[in-house]
Every structure is written in C-alpha cells, then in structure tokens.
Amino acid sequence: MKLRNLLTAALALLASASCIEAAGTKKLFNGKNLDGFYVEDGTATYEVRDGAIVGRTVLGSPNTFLTTEKRYGDFELTFEVKVDDRLNSGVQIRSWSRTEPEGKFKEGRFHGPQVEIEAGPGQAGFIYGEAMGGSWLSDAPKSEDKSVNTHDYFKNGEWNKFKIIAKGPRIQTFINGHKVEDLVDKKAYKTHPEGHIGLQVHSISKKKLGDAEFLEVSWRKLKIKEL
C-alpha cells in the first residue's frame, strides 16, 4: 500500500511539473484566423486552412511576411512546416518592420535574422540575415563542403518539426529533433535584440514556377514560450 501511495504521489508531482511547464507556453496562432498578424512588404497571400496558415506565392511579388504584431526577445518557438520542394521560405525572428522608426536598418523593407526553410538535402535551419547586408549569419552555408553546409533532416513533402531557442546573442535551431545550428552572434544581437516573428513566402520566378499557377508553404502548431 505504501508503495502504491508513493507511486501515486510521484505521478501527481510529475503531472504538476508538466502543467507548470506548459503554463509558460502560449499559442502564437489560434488555428482559426490571422488575429495578431499583419502582412509586410509583398503581395503573397495567407489564409487559414484546416488549422494551418497557408502562404501562397504571387508572381512578381517580392518576399512577403506574415508578421506578429507583438515583438519578442528571448523565447523558445516551436512549429510544424511543410513547403513545396521548389519554394524557398523561412521564419524571421527578432525582425523589424520597414515602417518602424526605431528600426536599426534603413533598408525600406522587413529585416532581421531568418531561420531558413527549404527542401532537403538543403540549408533548412541555418540562419540568414534578411536585408542585413545579404549574407548568412551561419558559417556552414558559406562552406563549399556539402557535408557541412547541407543536411537531410528535413523531410520533403511532409510536416517537419522546428524548434528555435533565442536567448541573448545565442540562437539554436532544431529540425525533427536534430540540432542544426548553435549560433552566437553579438553583432546581430546588438542590432536585433528583439522584434517580430514573420512567416515568409519567398518571391518566385516564372522559371521556377514552371507550369504551376502558384506554390505553397504551410505552418501549424505555432507555440512560443518567452524566456
């Protein structure tokens, strides 16, 4: 009887700890509509379909971002994403709107660190400086060594689980449980210590579009925990 009571008490403690941990995590997307978001820069379209945000390319549009109204600094962000094999995409973090006077860059466009999303083997999970001088923040994509700058953690044509942890100048990324990046960039943190989160639909060329009318990228189960 005593052993059973101890097991019951232990399970109760575990359940309580789980609830406490879950209490700090919030839904970034409510699964029903785009409340709390606005569109930045381009003319690509976004809609809610079957509990997911679906972004669709528009020929001739520049990069487009579905952007959170709220800004975030240190956080843990998780989501699932599925993207057409021919479409480049990404998730902006700590990014600034081109219309915000306190923005550190005068690019006339949305700018900040971007966690890459693309079919594998590719560079998904590495970090690019969107409108931050046109270069990667991650070192791996700069290398000619394919074993370093690409990976096959991303499952083409399927939902993929991403986790992004941003704390101070350190940004870590994971895809389907595999660590991809562990970046410490004090320069990027100095200019972008906080900002919006943005879901990117990349510009598309007629050549890449081919016979298709449009390409799509979808996100679901977006959750964030501020640290």
Check residue 125 and report its DSSP letter. Answer: T
State residue 2's pLDDT score: 60
Contact yes or no for 125/115 (Cβ under 8 A): yes
Q: Tell me the pLDDT tens digit for each residue of 12-43.
A: 555 554 444 457 999 999 999 999 999 998 99
Give residue 154's Cα distance to chain centre.
14
> pTM of the predicted model, to two decimals?
0.87
State residue 10's pLDDT score: 52
Q: Tell me the pLDDT tens digit for each residue of 173-212.
A: 999 999 999 999 999 999 999 999 999 999 999 988 889 9
Contact yes or no for 210/88 (Cβ under 8 A): no
Q: What CATH code is assigned to 26-226?
A: 2.60.120.560
State residue 17's pLDDT score: 45
Higher-pLDDT residue of 191 and 6 is 191
Could you tell me where the beta strands, DSSP code E, fall in 69-143?
75-83, 89-95, 112-117, 127-130, 135-136
Q: Tell me the pLDDT tens digit for each residue of 38-83.
A: 999 899 999 999 999 999 999 999 999 999 999 999 999 999 999 9
Q: Tell me the pLDDT tens digit for each residue of 98-119.
A: 767 555 555 568 999 999 999 9
Q: How confident is the model at residue 97 (pLDDT cuts 50, 70, 90)?
A: confident
Residues near 153 by Cβ (< 8 Å), separated by ≥ 6?
120, 124, 125, 175, 176, 178, 180
User: 65, 64, 69: which is closest to 35 by C-alpha?
Assistant: 69
